[in-house]
Chains A and B, each alone.
Chain A
Amino acid sequence: MNIILSIIIPSAAGVLIYLLPSKFNKTKNVLFLAAAALNFLIAVVFYGKIICICDASAYLVNLFFRNYELNSFMAVFLAAVTLITSIYAVAFMKQNKKTQVFYGSMLLALSCVNGVLFSDNFIFFLFFWEALMIPMFLMIASGENKPVPTAIKAFTISAVADLCLMFGVMLVCVAGDSFSISKGICELKAVVPGTYGLFTTTAFIMLFIGAAAKLGAMPFHSWIPEASAKAPVAFMVFMVTAVEKILGIYLLIRITNDFFIIEQSSFISVSAMTFGIITALVANALAMVQTDFKKMLSYASIGQAGFMIVAVSTMSVIGTVAALIHMHAHVIYKSGLFFVSGNIEKAEGSTDMNVIKGGLRKSMPYTFVAFLLSGAAFAGVPFFYAFYSKEMIYESALSVHWIFYAGLLICSLIAIITIINWGARLFFNGQNNSAFEDKEASTWMFIPTIIFALACALLGLFHQVPLKIISVVLNLNLPETHSNVLTVILILISLILFILAVLNFIKAYKKKTDYLGYALPAAKFLKIDKLNLNENLDPYNIFISFIKRLSKVLFVADKALNYFYDLVIPAGIGEMARSTRKAHNGNMSVYLLWVLIGIVCIFIIF
């Protein structure tokens, strides 16, 4: 058989889980884990095999499936993350009807992502891309404390964004005059040698919006923090960190490398980078002022999405590789941190700062170790995986313009401060007197957390290995003229950055207040903390209220038209009828008069 299995098996299992009555809970869990494991197996077995399942339906719309290096690498990576998350999910979530729905829709989502990664035909690429929406809706809806409004919000946002993507895909199909992605690519390159006619720019913008929305960039982000509070942790790991980022980066790489050829610092790439940098700055600032650990993590992941957009839109070889590696690193340490937050939530019941009493160092030692490792990677501490990808992003950003590099530096500084602040508050606070009560997470929940934490450390140490794999996967060879003077300077700057953050922490530690140190007054000055609380700054609400006002105006216009049909015309005719009736008043002389007029007219005609 071939790669199509990776779509059929998870979806079949998902549907089965939906349909089986709830008394088979145990078997459902086993089925769920088995499906994830099998999917991982398939992805590994079929890694890199160029399989082309051609024309399953021998008509104009043929169902191609190509298995590129990049696709299979992403598929294997996703399969691994899903396997680990499924183990965590089974351990973490209590058995009720909602979790069954969650498992089923997770598997469906998995098959849709596989479908996107392996489909070589634009129609099916879109089909699986948009098919993701329903499982996403169900997954959020299976959370607690009234998740359905957030689910609807997520559904609407991704539906609207996918329509832009659909429009972009249509423009590309028409330009390439074929539906197939691979064939389309080579022709499209020839057709569009960097010329920026209206056609191509709209195509690029639309595709870019679709990818950015999937990544969770700024205007489309507002459902992610809400989902983090309401949806289960496994959703946040699987969907928000893994799937969204993978699909987003996959499409971005396809756009920048395959569909369009855009010079390095042309207008389009610069505007894309500014879009990315703004997202990163705003998201990181918001992350800093969050009071809920999971909300902070979701804003941080939006920030990292900004990082990746900046890296990709430098349109340079190093930028693309950096983005892919950073995506890889980000998924690993962010999942680790989310698992840590899951453990804390399991133990303390909530991850909100003023609810937890802190000082978990003693009661949850292992989770603390995992937090340390993943947190270090998050902060970009040298010899951890994320450090190298961040360096490459800095380099690519610098190659375009120093302002981007400065922006990224500020983001990293804020990130380091936030993670240190949360680390201190959660684990070092010390007021928690019930320190010795062992609330450590159960073994099955703990294993996934520690896997990711160790992965950050190990991949950091042997960072040559992932670099080699990824450059082979992208078959772009890194420019060997890698001037080490530049790298040394970059490393020095990030070290200074790190020291600055620590100093700020120490100063804040003395005052024993909030551990943000200098950052807090700066945040208050910029009124950032007010920013995320009031509702009406949320782009989704602004968009909906604009549509509502516009529709009200049109509704009144339609009513006026209706009024015209209902009342104006009948009244007019009624008036005419009344006048003719009055003329016919029944006395004979009038009738004779008419007869005379009639005769006169006839004579005139004759």
Chain B
Amino acid sequence: MSYDIMLLLVVAIPVLFSALIPLFGKVSVFIRNFFALVLMLIPFLLLIIIFQAVQAGIPVDFVYEFPILEINFILQADIFSVFVAMASVLVSIVVLIYSFEYIKSYDNQNEYFFIVLLFVGSMMGIVFSANLIFIYFFWEMTALASWRLIGYFREKEYVRRANKTFIMTAAGALCMLIGFLMIAEQAGSFDLDVISAANLQGSAVNLAIILIILGIFSKSATFPLHSWLADAGIAPSPVTALLHAAVLVKIGVYVYARLFNFTIVPSEEIRIVLFSIVSVSAFLSGAVAFVEKDIKRVIAFSTISQIAFIFLGFISGGKFAFVGAMLFILMHGLAKAGLFLSAGIIEHKIHTKQLDMMGGLFRYMPITAFAFAGCALSVMGIPPFAGFFSKFLVIFGTVYDQNIIAALIFIICAGLTVLYTVRLFWKVFLGSQKKYPNIEKENWNSPMVLSVVSLAFLSLILTFSFGYLFYIANLAAQTIKGQGF
């Protein structure tokens, strides 16, 4: 089977076969869970095979022309896209295993698994599609999936927030589509290679870039359009882990990198504008996370500020910054998913999300506490965990590309990250020793605890394989159009 068909299967299997999940659900819960897991594992294995091919330099792309219009369905795989795809599928598999036990106590579970698989499939679609229209196509599908997932619990208030998320992301996506149309008009076609060949400059492109960035910021929850992410804390925690930590917000960052590191080089003044917005977003969300009262909202705000770090890497455009940002996507995905999942375990056990009602949980759930601490340390960037390298490289890349002020602001934000993460850990696990009468004993073999521990363990292990990861990231960085060297 040629690599191109494999690439198509990676996208097609989750999207098309996810429709069968509700049917399996009618048959038995176990079969449905097993089938869902299989539907996730197959793309992961295919991705590993494709990765070998791409690393060996074999071009992998699947093309299907449309008759009259110049939109054609192209899937292209290069090291960067396969890396990001594998990172998100890996986290989605862990989240899926976690949600087998988490969702057991809630209703309309079939719809949950169906939408999760549809979501991961459309994520694969975005990562590999090399045509602007199909990027938009899968982009809106993720917006639809995130609407259904956030609105999972049917209370009126929750659905209102899900609607707000859907409208904000859809509005952003429409502005992005207008931007795409402008670029396609200038470059003559929607395909990325044609656009990058035309290497567009000049003021018309600037307006298009701003519109596209508006869309990207609405999806990856950066400063002006970030309020939907914090509100989405009301979704079940595997959803927040999947959407807000590992995958949904990464889509916006990935599309930014795909467009503005590989295809069009944004002009200098746009770069400055982006730096300022991103640093405001990092600082504001960091500060708000410091005083937030709800555990999920704290982690959500910390996601907003960590996403700003990744943006910093891609905006400064140099090779180090690109490598740092690329690795940051993986490290942050793992660590933040771990935080959200352990927040889920806590919420499952003591049925509250308010930080003031927690405290002294260390005695009751030591394993989750250690896993939470591991992931938190990786988010903070404390050495034995892999987060350190990516944070160092991102900021070093920015300094290397001569924007010292931005780097200084992000060092302050890194300090802020340490402050609010330590405060969070203190308030939840160590603080005032409250009594929890009817909390059940924490056991090892519950998939929820196992998945959180595996995420923390992964962030620790990746430090030792950092040489190899750095090597892959370097390979990916050869092709960026910024001032690579």
Contacts and interface: CB of A to CB of B under 8 A. Distances in A.
A-B complex is real: yes
Find the residue from B288, B380, B383, B415 having the highest chain A CB count within 10 A.
B383
A61 B415 contact: no
Interface stretch (B17-25, B89-97, B113-121, B395-403): B395-403
Given A167-B407, A558-B288, A57 B168 contact: no
Interface residues of A, number: 44
Interface string A543-567: 0100110111011011001100110
10 contacts: A59-B470, A123-B389, A130-B383, A152-B422, A170-B395, A171-B399, A554-B283, A555-B291, A558-B285, A562-B230
B34 interface: no
Contacts of B164: 565-566
Interface in B156-207: 164, 168
B411 A164 contact: yes
Interface stretch (A155-163, A426-434, A520-528): A155-163
Interface in B424-465: 426, 430
B133 to A, nearest CB: 29
Contact of B392 (A156, A166, A551): A166
Contact of B467 (A57, A126, A159, A164): A57
Interface in A1-58: 56-58
A406 interface: no
B418 A548 contact: no
Contact of B380 (A152, A159, A166): A159
Interface of A: 56-61, 123, 126-128, 130-131, 133-134, 148, 152, 155-156, 159-160, 163-164, 166-167, 170-171, 173-174, 199, 202, 544, 547-548, 550-552, 554-555, 557-558, 561-562, 565-566
A170 B468 CA distance: 22
B200 to A, nearest CB: 31
A160 B418 contact: yes
Contacts of A56: 467
Interface of B: 164, 168, 224, 227-228, 230-231, 283-285, 287-288, 290-292, 377, 380, 382-384, 388-389, 392, 395-396, 399-400, 404, 407-408, 411, 414-416, 418-419, 422, 426, 430, 466-468, 470-471, 474
A489 B377 CA distance: 55
A122 to B, nearest CB: 9
Given A152-B426, A167-B399, 5 more contacts: A134-B377, A174-B400, A551-B288, A554-B288, A558-B227
Nearest to B380: A159
A43 B232 CA distance: 55
Contacts of B224: 561
Contact of B291 (A155, A156, A552, A565): A552
A552 B287 CA distance: 8
Find the residue from A174, A558, A566 having the highest chain B CB count within 10 A.
A558
Contact of B383 (A131, A163, A173, A544): A131
Contacts of A551: 287-288, 290-291
A47 B91 CA distance: 47
Nearest to B389: A123
A565 B404 CA distance: 34
Contacts of B287: 547, 550-551, 554-555
B59 to A, nearest CB: 25
A152 B230 CA distance: 27
Given A130-B388, A131-B384, A551-B288, A167 B395 contact: yes
A155 B426 CA distance: 12
A128 B419 contact: no
Contacts of B380: 159
B contacts with A: majority SS: helix
Contacts of B288: 551, 554-555, 558
A128 B411 CA distance: 19
A287 to B, nearest CB: 29
Given A130-B388, A148-B430, A156-B422, A170 B396 contact: yes
In the complex, the 8 A-B pairs of residues with the closest C-beta atoms, listed nearest first: A57-B467, A551-B287, A131-B383, A554-B287, A551-B290, A159-B418, A562-B227, A551-B291
Contacts of A152: 422, 426, 430
A170 B388 contact: no
Contact of B382 (A133, A167, A171): A133
A127 B292 contact: no
A157 to B, nearest CB: 10
B474 A60 contact: yes
A424 to B, nearest CB: 42
A170 B227 contact: no
A457 B60 CA distance: 75
A59 B471 contact: yes
Contacts of B468: 57
Nearest to A179: B396
Contacts of B404: 171, 199, 202
Given A130-B383, A174-B400, A547-B416, A558 B471 contact: no
A552 B414 CA distance: 19
A198 to B, nearest CB: 8
A59 B414 CA distance: 27
Nearest to B397: A170
Contacts of B408: 167
B439 to A, nearest CB: 21
Contacts of B419: 156, 160, 544, 547
Find the residue from A174, A550, A551, A555 having the highest chain B CB count within 10 A.
A551
